[in-house]
Amino acid sequence: MAGTLRCTVLSPDGEVFDGEVSFVEAHALDGRLGILPGHAPLITALGEGPLRVTLENSGDRNWSVSGGFLEVLANHVSVVAEGLREQS
């Protein structure tokens, strides 16, 4: 499915990212999760692992997450991370 979805990434220090993306990949407690535009509503706990958002025209942003939650609702992905460190 073409298009974008809104993604917001929050850490204990505040908002880290807010923008339009074409794909979100996260590490849930029971395995990897990929989110494309139009994904069904979902809420899941995050484990320790990578979080990657693919920007429509400018590559990826990557973080290392240690715990938190991810919610998909109305073409908006919200990530609330307990621990978050940006990766290069």
> What domain count does the chain have?
1
Query: Which residues, 6+ apart, have CB-to-CB distance to 53 below 8 Å?
Result: 7, 9, 17, 19, 21, 23, 24, 25, 60, 61
- Quickly tell me which residue has 């990578």 as its tokens: 50
The answer on pLDDT for 12 being more than 90 is: yes
Residue 70's domain spans which residues? Answer: 5-87
Residue 35 · residue 77 · CB < 8 Å: yes
Question: Is-contact 26 70, C-beta < 8 A?
Answer: yes
Give the pLDDT of residue 2: 67
Q: What is the pLDDT of residues 35-79, one digit of tens each?
A: 999 999 999 999 999 999 999 888 999 999 999 999 999 999 999
CATH at 39: 2.60.15.10
Q: What is the pLDDT of residue 57?
A: 81
